[in-house]
């Protein structure tokens, strides 16, 4: 029987009989107190003295707090997070607590971060949002990422939301140099029309990042002048690398080439065209902005820092991770479409170099998830023998078991041979297609 309304209970024209009927209806709908308490499951913390640390909790039938418990900060209670952590651990995942970029991340059996990754702001991590955006584009029948006119207002600037998918830039040292011919062929077949070959054997992360523009070289003109024409010796903010690739750019408003003399290791700035002599502070460093910074709007493939691991300074995994992060962050679009390639252990590598590779790969895998190509894992796998058509020797299999590049995949102790390089490039193309960047 329905409850009487407030108007019916206060109706001054109602008869005694009508009022008795209405009060009877009211009494029939009153719940017994004991019954109410036995069925009550939701409590507000302010109503319970024992729950002073919580805003809200849902209790089970036997009066235990459930996972729907919110603390005073408005977040899930610590014990809830711990429960989730234990359950995720039981299913071959784990929670990052040491990673400064994430509050929580469930990882699959291959140690890749899943879509259950929350950053320090309490939101889904950017890469999760990007994954979802790519998946939603299929459902919404959006043309596959080719609308280059999309912009995002970010840090008070209008920037493109996505890269120019007609352009690809590759950056790295000799490993990337070996992959470049096949990568270029692979991506041209997908509709890419511009391909920047940014690899140079022997370079370290500092030189590659400077050529890209992510961390520009800082030059000192010790003589205090940029001459009206020709070259001038300069110093730079890193240790000399004999095999550094000369590259063009602008310093102090003057266009020219930054280079190194192979024999003397002296760096030079050479003007492109004659002009006025310019006086500069000999004690001040000036940024050299490379022309190749114009490729920051392209899809990017990176493999940087392998040569740092054998250098006397700046040789840690963390240094290479930081330079890699700078290069990815330098990309102009709001959404970073970059494949970050890890490193393999050289044939016969010592324990120190080997550990640096392992530590760097682990860091890259944590940071970049499905944008990371695990080169070490692939070179150690059975798949690479099938992909190259090479039959491994017993020595090859022993080297793989020891976690180092096998001889039959090698040009020398530190480089892949042509067959292995082609196989790697094909796997990278496959990964990009799986990410649905291209059709």
Tell me the pLDDT tens digit for each residue of 219-261: 999 899 999 999 999 999 999 999 999 999 999 999 999 999 9
More confident residue, 70 or 371: 371
Mean pLDDT of 182-192: 96
* Residue 141, pLDDT score: 41
- Which phi and psi angles does 287 have, rounded to 5°? -70, 135
So what's the pLDDT on residue 99? 60
Three-state SS at 217:
strand
Give Cα 167 distance to the centre of its chain: 20
To the nearest 10°, report the CA torsion of 356, 362, 364, 365. Answer: 160
Residues of the chain with pLDDT > 90, as a percent, come to: 61
* Predicted pLDDT of residue 40: 45
Selected residue with higher pLDDT from 110 and 68: 68
Within its chain, how far is the Cα of 71 from the centroid? 31
* pTM of the complete model: 0.67
Of the pLDDT bands very low, low, confident and very high (cuts 50, 70, 90), residue 68 is confident
| Residue 210 clears pLDDT 60, i.e. is over it | yes
Asked whether residue 328 carries a pLDDT value surpassing 80, the answer given is yes
**Alpha-carbon torsion, ordered 173, 176, 180, 182, to 10 deg:** 160
164: β partners: 298
**228, 278 contact by CB (below 8 A):** no
Q: Tell me how far apart the alpha carbons of residues 406 and 397 are, in angstroms, rounded to a whole number.
A: 7
Task: Note the residue count of the chain.
Answer: 439
Using a 10 angstrom Cβ sphere, with 0-12 exposed, 13-18 middle and 19 or more buried, the burial of residue 168 is buried
Q: Does domain 160-207+294-434 have CATH number 3.40.50.1110?
A: yes
**C-beta of residue 211 within 8 angstroms of C-beta of residue 173:** no
Please count the other Cβ atoms lying within 10 Å of the Cβ belonging to residue 239.
12
Q: Tabulate helix, strand, coil % of the chain (nearest 5).
A: 40, 25, 40
Say if CB 273 and CB 259 are below 8 A apart. no
Higher pLDDT, 439 or 408: 408
* Nearest alpha carbon to residue 127 among 288, 339, 406: 339
Tens of pLDDT, residue by residue over 333-364, are 777 899 999 999 999 999 999 999 999 999 99
Of residues 342, 333, 341, 343, the one with CA closest to residue 299: 333
Over residues 204-221, mean pLDDT: 97
**Is the model's pLDDT at 415 over the cut of 80?**
yes
Reported as a single tens digit per residue, the pLDDT across 360-404 is: 999 999 999 999 999 999 999 999 999 999 999 999 999 999 999
Task: Tell me: pLDDT of 29 over 50.
Answer: yes
Rg (CA), the chain: 31
Angle at alpha carbon of residue 362, lines to 431 and 384, rounded to 5°: 45
pLDDT, tens digit, 9 for 90 and up, residues 309-321: 999 999 999 999 9
- Domains of the chain, by residue range, sit at 42-134, 160-207+294-434, 209-292
- CB count within 10 Å of CB 82 equals 11
State the pLDDT confidence band at 43, using cuts at 50, 70 and 90.
very low
Q: State the Cα–Cα distance between residues 252 and 285, nearest whole angstrom.
A: 10
- Going by pLDDT thresholds of 50, 70 and 90, the confidence category of residue 137 is low
Q: How far apart are CA 60 and CA 347, in angstroms?
A: 59
pLDDT of residue 102: 73
For residue 24, is pLDDT > 80? no
Lowest mean per-residue pLDDT among 75-89, 165-179, 258-272 = 75-89
Residue 38 has pLDDT above 50, yes or no: no
For position 109, what pLDDT does the model report?
58
In 3D space, the residue among 270, 263, 213 whose CA is nearest the CA of residue 243 turns out to be 263
Q: What is the mean pLDDT of residues 297-309?
A: 96
Mean local confidence (pLDDT), 49-67: 74
3-state secondary structure of 80: helix
pLDDT at 294 over 60: yes
| The pairing of beta strand 164-172 with beta strand 298-303 | parallel
What is the b/e burial string over 219-234, where b = at least 16 CB atoms within 10 angstroms of the residue's CB? Answer: bbbeeeebbeeeebeb
């Amino acid at each position: 029987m329905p409850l009487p309304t407030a108007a019916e209970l206060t109706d001054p024209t109602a008869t005694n009989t009508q009022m008795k009927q209405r009060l009877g209806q009211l009494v029939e709908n009153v719940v017994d107190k004991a019954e109410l308490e036995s069925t009550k499951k939701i409590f507000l913390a302010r109503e319970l003295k024992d729950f002073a640390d919580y805003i809200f909790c849902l209790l089970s039938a036997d009066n235990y707090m459930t996972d729907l418990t919110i603390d005073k900060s408005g977040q899930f209670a610590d014990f809830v997070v711990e429960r989730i952590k234990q359950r995720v651990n039981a299913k071959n995942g784990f929670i990052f607590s040491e990673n400064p970029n994430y509050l929580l991340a469930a990882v699959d059996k291959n140690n890749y971060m899943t879509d259950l990754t929350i950053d320090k702001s309490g939101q889904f991590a950017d890469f999760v949002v990007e994954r979802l955006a790519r998946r939603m584009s299929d459902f919404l029948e959006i043309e596959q990422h080719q609308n280059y006119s999309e912009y995002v207002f970010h840090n008070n600037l209008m920037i493109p939301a996505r890269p120019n998918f007609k352009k690809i830039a590759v950056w790295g040292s000799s490993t990337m140099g070996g992959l470049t011919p096949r990568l270029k062929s692979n991506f041209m077949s997908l509709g890419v029309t511009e391909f920047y070959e940014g690899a140079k054997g022997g370079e370290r992360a500092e030189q590659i990042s400077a050529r890209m523009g992510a961390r520009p070289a800082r030059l000192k003109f010790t003589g205090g002048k940029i001459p009206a024409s020709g070259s001038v010796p300069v110093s730079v903010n890193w240790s000399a690398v004999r095999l550094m690739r000369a590259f063009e750019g602008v310093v102090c408003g003057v266009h020219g080439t930054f280079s190194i003399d192979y024999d003397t290791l002296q760096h030079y700035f050479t003007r492109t065209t004659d002009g006025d002599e310019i006086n500069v502070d000999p004690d001040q460093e000036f940024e050299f902005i490379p022309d190749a910074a114009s490729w920051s709007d392209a899809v990017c493939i990176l493999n940087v820092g392998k040569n740092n691991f054998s250098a006397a300074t700046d040789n840690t995994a963390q240094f290479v991770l930081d330079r890699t992060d700078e290069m990815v962050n330098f990309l102009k679009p709001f959404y970073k479409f970059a494949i970050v390639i890890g490193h393999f252990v050289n044939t016969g590598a010592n324990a120190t170099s080997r550990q640096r590779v392992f530590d760097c790969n682990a860091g890259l895998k944590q940071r970049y998830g499905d944008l990371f190509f695990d080169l070490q894992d692939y070179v150690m796998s059975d798949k690479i023998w099938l992909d190259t058509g090479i039959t491994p020797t017993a020595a090859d299999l022993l080297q793989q078991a020891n976690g180092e590049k096998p001889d039959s995949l090698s040009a020398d102790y530190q480089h892949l041979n042509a067959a292995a390089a082609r196989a790697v490039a094909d796997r990278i193309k496959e990964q990009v297609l799986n990410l649905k960047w291209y059709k």
